[in-house]
Amino acid sequence: MEIRELTLHNFGKFTGKTIRLENGINILYGENESGKTTLHTFIKGMLFGMERGRGRASVYDSFSIYEPWENPNYYSGSLRFESGGKTFRIDRNFDKYTKKAELICEDDGEQLSVADGDLAVVIGELNAGNYDNTISIGQLKVETGKYLASEFKNHAVDGSSLTDTVCPHGNGEINLEKALERLKEKKKILEREMKDSLLQKQARRERMEQEASYIWRDVHRLEEEYVRITEEIHHRREKELVQERENAENKLVIDELRPDKWRIHPVEIIVFIGIIVLAFILIAKPWNYLVSIILFLVCGIYVWNRMKVGKQQEKTPPEIILEEITPEEEKIPKEKLLWEQSHVKEELKEKKTQYGNLQEQLTELDEISDDYREYDKRRSALLLAMDRLNELSIQLQKRLEERLNGRTSEILAYITDYRYTKVLLEEGLHLSVLKDGRRVPMEQLSRGAAEQIYFALRMAASEVLHQEEYPVILDDTFAYYDDVRLKNTLRWLEEQKKQVLVFTCQKREVRILDELKIAYHKIDV
């Protein structure tokens, strides 16, 4: 990708400003406050857009800082660039009310959509974060942020830059990040299925336990019913035996008179009859009839009382058993009780069988099912695959770091005339160098040396992260460089055959380029 033309319709201090850029090194010279940083910000805004911040942050964001001084509602510009052998133009209106972005291929007039991601496709994998941490260096911002360390880790997971290393003879693409995401998604789906299965199993267990409790209550009720009916039948049999015994005893009483057992003596009856007859004969008529009737009633009452007293005597155990049987019970036929006993017995047996079956099923539920074993097997396979991909990611990240470390060391050695030949990249891209076999942390180096190390890191990172070549944009980057190292840096940039935009307020760059006889395109801002 190479930038061909910048047109600031209304951006910051510029109105109707057009700047044309060439291949190779472009020197954009201007004194302080001439608008160099404005141009630098404009390039980023055209490529990635600009958003107004919210609240107090909106006062210091780029959108507000570079809002046009005149006609702020007409906040716009355009940028022409070449990519993939074609020329494209981006037109943007940054104003919040008329905000829009258009992308046109000038070779064939095709209208592309920025909103749908066509611009990202045209300029490749470059994004705002990569832009700020690799090819674009702002004033006093040569240090890379944590974003670059995170980007290297993600890039190692993606693995696309190492495809040729891992698959040197194939066209296969490695995208570990997407593979891991797919495996994680499958793991989530599988775990959700396992959870649903366990919930269904638990619900089934609860239903079975509830059903078992109902059946157990039925068993208990039927057992009590069976005992009651059995006792009832036993009482009936006792009653029959007592009745048979009484019948036998009554027969003996009739056949064999036993006066001591009688409730009233026969002599008493004879005496009563004699008294009534004598009274009827001896007493004159008609009083004899009245007296005889009275005597007959008195004798009858006496006999009745005697019979009643005999019934109030102590009863035998069989008689007590017979009295416990209620009239309602006597009405129930014995055959019906026997049928009820048989029916309850069969129902009790069936309920006990159902209860036993439920207990067996509950025991089976406690055991690990084949479905759960299959789920666990699949989950273990997914975890194993994820572990293998993570291991591969670590290996790729290590190779990537070695490549980045090697390339950064090469660039730094070139810039410093081989004063520093080895850069050490530690966790989080913390930097140090080897000097005379001794590790020297970044904090112990001069400002100029530190900036040169960061510059080497940025250039190496751009090569590692980006398959496509992009312009290198430097805004007063060389303030702390001595002439020797600036000369080496400019020579290195020229050798890379990249488009370079150098924003500067000094004339050192032009002078050194002239000394080195390096061609450049100078633009006064």
Q: Is residue 512 part of a domain?
A: yes
Whichever domain contains 107, its CATH number is 3.40.50.300
Residues 206 and 111 in one domain: no
Residues 362 and 259 in one domain: yes
The answer to whether residue 524 scores a pLDDT higher than 60 is yes
Task: Collect all residues with Cβ–Cβ distance below 8 Å to 516 and sequence separation of at least 6.
Answer: 487, 490, 491, 494
Cut 0.75: pTM above it: no
Partners of 10 in the beta sheet?
A: 15, 76
Q: Is residue 481 part of a domain?
A: yes
Q: Is residue 46 part of a domain?
A: yes
Query: What pLDDT was estimated at residue 262?
Result: 54
Neighbours of 474 (CB within 10 A): 25
Residues 220 and 335 in one domain: yes
The answer to whether 15 and 8 are in contact (CB under 8 A) is: yes
How does the average pLDDT of the chain come out, rounded?
81
Find the range with the poorest average confidence among 398-402, 485-489, 511-515: 398-402
Q: What is the 3-state secondary structure (H, E, C) of 313-339?
A: CCCCHHHHHHHHCCHHHHHCCHHHHHH
Give the pLDDT band (50/70/90) at residue 166: very low
Residues 219 and 356 in one domain: yes
Check residues 264 and 318 and name the one with the higher pLDDT.
Answer: 264
Q: Is residue 22 part of a domain?
A: yes
Q: Is residue 260 part of a domain?
A: yes
Tell me the HSE value of 336 on the side-chain side, using a 13 A CA sphere: 5
Based on the number of CB atoms within 10 Å of its own CB, is 414 exposed (0-12), middle (13-18) or buried (19 or more)? middle
Q: Is residue 377 part of a domain?
A: no
How many domains does the chain divide into? 2
Query: What pLDDT was estimated at residue 161?
Result: 43
Residues 213 and 71 in one domain: no
Residues 218 and 351 in one domain: yes
Residue 55 DSSP code: G
Give me the sheet containing 472-475, strands edge to edge: 136-137, 472-475, 500-504, 25-29, 520-524
Q: Using CA atoms, how far apart are residues 280 and 337, in angstroms rounded to an integer?
A: 61
The answer to whether 74 and 95 are in contact (CB under 8 A) is: yes
The answer to whether residue 258 scores a pLDDT higher than 50 is no
Q: Is residue 89 part of a domain?
A: yes
Q: Is residue 248 part of a domain?
A: yes
Residues 103 and 203 in one domain: no
Q: Regarding beta strands 86-93 and 76-83, do their DSSP bridges make them parallel or antiparallel, or are they unpaired?
A: antiparallel
Q: Which of 313, 336, 366 is the last residue of a domain?
A: 366
Q: Which of 342, 366, 390 is the last residue of a domain?
A: 366
Residues 62 and 197 in one domain: no
Residues 238 and 331 in one domain: yes
- The model's pLDDT over 186-208, given as tens digits with 9 standing for 90+, comes to 888 888 888 888 888 888 888 88
Q: Using CA atoms, how far apart are residues 153 and 394, in angstroms rounded to an integer?
A: 9
Task: Collect all residues with Cβ–Cβ distance below 8 Å to 219 and sequence separation of at least 6.
Answer: 348, 351, 352, 355
Containing H/E element for 100?
strand 100-105
Domain that holds residue 278: 185-366
Q: What are phi and psi of 406, to 5 degrees?
A: -65, -45
Q: Which of 366, 397, 432 is the last residue of a domain?
A: 366
The answer to whether residue 28 scores a pLDDT higher than 90 is yes
Give the pLDDT band (50/70/90) at residue 169: very low
- The model's pLDDT over 407-457, given as tens digits with 9 standing for 90+, comes to 999 999 999 998 888 988 877 667 888 887 888 888 888 888 989 998 999
Q: Using CA atoms, how far apart are residues 180 and 390, in angstroms rounded to an integer?
A: 8
Q: Which tokens hold the place of 41?
A: 């910000």
Residues 209 and 297 in one domain: yes
Residues 221 and 360 in one domain: yes
Residues 114 and 229 in one domain: no
